[in-house]
Amino acid sequence: MSHPNLVALATITRREVTRILRIWAQTLVPPAITMTLYFLIFGNLIGSRIGDMGGYTYMDFIVPGLVMMAVIQNSYGNISSSFFGAKFGRHIEEMLVSPMPNWVILGGYVAGAVLRGLMVGVIVLGIAMLFTRVRVPHPFITLATVLLGATIFSLAGFINAVFAKKFDDVAIVPTFILTPLTYLGGVFYSVDLLPQWASTMTHANPIFYMVNAFRFGLLNDSDVSMTLAFGLMLGFVVAFSAFGLWLLKRGIGLRS
Amino acid sequence: MTTVPALEIRELRKVYATGVEALKGVSLSVQPGDFFALLGPNGAGKSTLIGIVSSLVNASSGAVKVFGIDIGTQREAAMRLLGLVPQEVNFNFFEKPFDILCNYAGFYGVARTEARRRAEEELRRAQLWEKAFTTARTLSGGMKRRLMIARAMMTKPRLLILDEPTAGVDIEIRRGMWRILREVNAAGTTVILTTHYLEEAESMCRNLAIIDRGEIIENGPMKTLLSKLDVEGFLLDIDGELPAELPHIEGIALHAEDRHTLDLEMPRAMHLNQIFARLDEAGIRVRSMRTKTNRLEELFVRLTGSKEAA
Ligand SMILES: Nc1ncnc2c1ncn2[C@@H]1O[C@H](COP(=O)(O)OP(=O)(O)OP(=O)(O)O)[C@@H](O)[C@H]1O
Ligand SMILES: [Mg+2]
């Protein structure tokens, strides 16, 4: 922990985590409430009338998707609001004038956002385990999926924040892109139920692979192969990281 | 001498995306240990220049070296030597001063325990220790400015650049800030500051540059520049009212500031006796007299005023 870049990386990460804990009512409580409602309504009230889905009770079936959805939304939201807030409040300049290399800035913010995703994931999965009999048969795959999924959507949130010029801009992308992708990514249904064309389209949705990798981790069952799912997720991490670093290097939206 | 300049700027140009040409080929050199003033009217390009040096603004062309290190090719090494106090407050209002300072040092790689030690030291020096653990948003304007100086000192910069550090700060606090800056400079840090309080520059800075509309129009030692001034101005308080017709005195400019005050501008070479004699003849009795402007202000207005509206 003595290299200046590692100290800097730890500083940003610590600052992000401090922020998450300081505003816990905005960061950690809402996903817990949303999840509880989802379980009560979709799982209990409506789910009991739906019957089995892919061989599981509906409630069990939706757990992986709901947890993954919370992880994705919170990682994305953490970095987009924190990084855009730093731009808006100008304290981003503290980092831009410092000797930190770009990968440290990106790495620190992503680490903070991934930790938020992880915290939320643990909370939400904990709630799910109260309501269902879902356990974690593949802890390694479960954790790896959470980390990769959170990383991908942190990076996406970062890119969103770099281009954002006003707070609306960090709200619009989640509403028009992230939420539809999540809902159409097989969180609430098995793709087997879809007509051929819709199923094909779902296979172009990155969230579909995360949800399925996660479903494998929790339910030992998936619509896709794990090799494909992890290969794709790693591909997204590489592509989004490269793009994020390029944006920082060019100073787009950051240096005039 | 072959000392490497603390700051060397060559042919720096900046054209913003809006098409504004903020810097039109600026060259400047500041020696190590100097206390340097960068002066200029609003919109002259001071903050742009400082922005480029601190890597917040991308130059359109030209080169900047900090202690011989090119910021274009070795940004990280150059930034390690630099401390910046920006014109606009730019810390996170929701954090506490102590955390702001520790985190800032962390960005520069200063380990946490050392950062905490320095944060206390700097907050005490800036007389902000009582506010160390309150939300930064609740600090007064002057406290916020002092906090930014304390923050910049956290990394022990060799070159400290301050963009209007004393704007909107009362005279007592301003004096406190000057004391700190003198102390910092005496300890070996090169200081560059911009200010609109010219007496501040005159009393503290050894060298200066005046920038106007993106160009350096004067640059050199404060003393040399001030000695160039060949005109002095006074305000005379008159007993009774001034006559409608003022006497004409060869070589000097007289005009009524109001009915009891006379504005006088005269060449240094001229004697006041001559002028008083002529005023006496005209029945104008001078009760008291004061220097019209601070000398640097005079120079500044002379150099930039003809072009400036305000
Ligand atoms: N981000 C920007 N985009 C476009 N134009 C800019 C930007 N920043 C500054 N300018 C323009 O560049 C010119 C120089 O501005 P700058 O802020 O460098 O002046 P300054 O000398 O610091 O003035 P002041 O004393 O008011 O702080 C001005 O015409 C200003 O409008
Ligand atoms: Mg300025």
The model's pLDDT over B86-104, given as tens digits with 9 standing for 90+, comes to: 999 999 999 999 999 999 9
| pLDDT the model gives residue B229 | 66
User: Can you tell me which residue has the tokens 């070296």?
Assistant: B65
Contact A233, A152 (CB under 8 A): yes
On chain A, the residues whose CB falls within 8 A of the CB of B104 are 94, 98
- Nearest residue to A64 (alpha-carbon basis) of A115, A129, A114: A129
| Residue-wise pLDDT tens digits, B240-280 | 888 888 888 888 888 888 888 888 888 877 888 888 888 88
Contact A256 B58 (CB under 8 A): yes
Mean of the per-residue pLDDT values of chain B: 89
For a mutational test of ligand 1's pocket, the pick from B9, B15, B46, B194, i.e. the residue with the most ligand atoms closer than 8 A to its C-beta, is B46
Q: Whose CA is nearest to atom 28 of ligand 1?
A: B43
pLDDT digits (tens, 9 = 90+) for B24-77: 999 999 999 999 999 988 999 999 999 999 999 999 999 999 999 999 999 999
Look up the ipTM and state it: 0.88
Q: B13, B15, B16: which to mutate for ligand 1, most atoms within 8 A of CB?
A: B16
Residue B53 vs residue B301, higher pLDDT: B53
Closest by Cα among B220, B213, B149, B221 to B185: B149
**pLDDT of residue B85 exceeding 50:** yes
Q: What is the pLDDT of residue B309?
A: 40
Between A100 and B277, residue with greater pLDDT: A100
pLDDT tens digit sequence for A220-255: 887 788 899 999 999 999 999 999 999 999 998 888
Instruction: Please determine, for residue B112, whether its predicted confidence score (pLDDT) is greater than 80.
Output: yes
Q: B90 and A1: CB-CB below 8 Å?
A: no
3-state helix, strand, coil in chain A (%, to 5): 80, 0, 20
Contact A98 B84 (CB under 8 A): no
pLDDT attached to residue B77 = 95
Are B109 and A5 contacting, i.e. CB atoms less than 8 angstroms apart?
A: yes
Tell me the pLDDT tens digit for each residue of A168-193.
998 888 888 888 888 888 888 888 88
Q: Which pLDDT value is given to residue A93?
A: 95
Q: pLDDT for A114-165, tens place per residue?
A: 999 999 999 999 999 988 888 888 889 899 999 999 999 999 999 999 999 9
How high is the pLDDT of residue B295? 67
Question: Residue A91 corresponds to which tokens in the numbers above?
Answer: 């304290």
Inform me whether the pLDDT recorded for A109 exceeds 90.
yes
- Residues B170-179 have a mean pLDDT of 88
Residues within a 6 A CB radius of ligand 1: A 256; B 16, 18, 20, 22, 40, 42-48, 87
Which has more confidence, B151 or A217? B151
The pLDDT of residue B299 is above 80:
no
pLDDT at A49 over 90: no
- Residue A85 exposure: Cα atoms within 13 Å on the Cβ side: 14
Name every chain B residue with its beta carbon within 8 A of the beta carbon of A97: 54-56, 79, 82, 84
Q: What is the pLDDT of residue A30?
A: 94
**What value does the mean pLDDT of chain A take?**
90
pLDDT of residue B310: 37
Ligand 1 center to residue A116 CA distance, Å? Answer: 39
User: Residue B246's pLDDT is what?
Assistant: 85
| Separation between Cα atoms, residue A66 and residue B293, nearest integer Å | 72
Query: Span A76-92, mean pLDDT?
Result: 94
Please state, for a pLDDT cut of 70, what percent of chain A lies above it.
Answer: 100
**Residue B1 — pLDDT band, cuts 50, 70, 90?**
low
Question: Tens of pLDDT along B185-207?
Answer: 999 999 999 988 877 888 889 99
CB contacts < 8 Å between A and B, how many? 82
Atom of ligand 1 nearest to the CA of B16: 4
> Model pTM?
0.86
Q: Tell me which chain A residues have a C-beta less than 8 angstroms from the C-beta of B110.
A: 7
Mean pLDDT of B223-245: 80
pLDDT level of residue B308 (50, 70, 90 thresholds): very low
| Sequence-distant contacts of A183-191: CB under 8 A, at least 24 apart | A185/A65, A185/A210, A185/A211, A186/A65, A186/A211, A186/A212, A186/A223, A187/A62, A187/A65, A187/A66, A187/A68, A187/A69, A187/A211, A188/A42, A188/A62, A188/A65, A189/A53, A190/A53, A190/A54, A190/A61, A190/A223, A191/A223
Q: Cα–Cα distances in Å, from A240 out to A161, A227, A231, B4, B16?
A: 13, 20, 14, 42, 29
Looking at chain B, the whole-number percentage of residues with pLDDT higher than 70 is: 95
What lies within 8 Å, CB to CB, of B35 at 6+ separation is B181, B182, B185, B190, B191, B204, B205, B206, B207
> Chain A closest CA to B154's CA: distance in Å?
12
pLDDT digits (tens, 9 = 90+) for B275-294: 888 888 888 889 988 887 66
pLDDT at A47 over 80: no
